[in-house]
Amino acid sequence: MLPLLIGGLGTPELLLILAVVVLLFGATKLPELARGSGRALRIFKAETKGLMDDDEDDKPAAAKTAEQRELEARQAELDARQAEIDAERERLRGNDTA
């Protein structure tokens, strides 16, 4: 049977690393650590996708279909409404604390 090779590490080495992690963080902190790592990876993935989308936005506007332009206009309108709602929410929170 072939040993599990991750970066040249075999099964005994991986088990030793896992044991050290459990000792350092404790068994109760491992799920929280995994959730935090998952969130970080999702954010990283979204940011890299955003960078790739920015590169695609450099294409000429004429290449966009009418449907795409309409969707972008609707999204801009929704973003403006959301900004108004957020501002109103902050204003109301300020009145509650005063």
Residue 1 — pLDDT band, cuts 50, 70, 90? Answer: very low
Evaluate whether residue 53 is within a structural domain.
yes
Task: Note the pLDDT of residue 94.
Answer: 81
Question: How far is Cα of residue 77 from the mean position of the Cα atoms in its chain?
Answer: 24
pLDDT tens digits along 15-71: 898 889 888 888 888 888 888 888 999 999 988 888 877 766 655 555 678 888 889
Collapsed DSSP state (helix, strand, coil) of residue 65: coil
Domain that holds residue 54: 28-58
Q: What is the mean pLDDT of residues 67-90?
A: 90
Do 54 and 69 have their domain in common? no
Evaluate whether residue 19 is within a structural domain.
no
- 54-to-26, 46, 66, 93 alpha-carbon distances in Å: 42, 12, 20, 35
CB count in 10 Å sphere of residue 8: 6
Evaluate whether residue 5 is within a structural domain.
no
Q: State the total domains in the chain.
A: 2
Evaluate whether residue 84 is within a structural domain.
yes
Evaluate whether residue 2 is within a structural domain.
no
Residue 84 — pLDDT band, cuts 50, 70, 90? Answer: very high
Taking the C-alpha atoms of residue 25 and residue 27, their distance in angstroms, rounded to an integer, is 7
Q: What is the mean pLDDT of residues 70-76?
A: 91
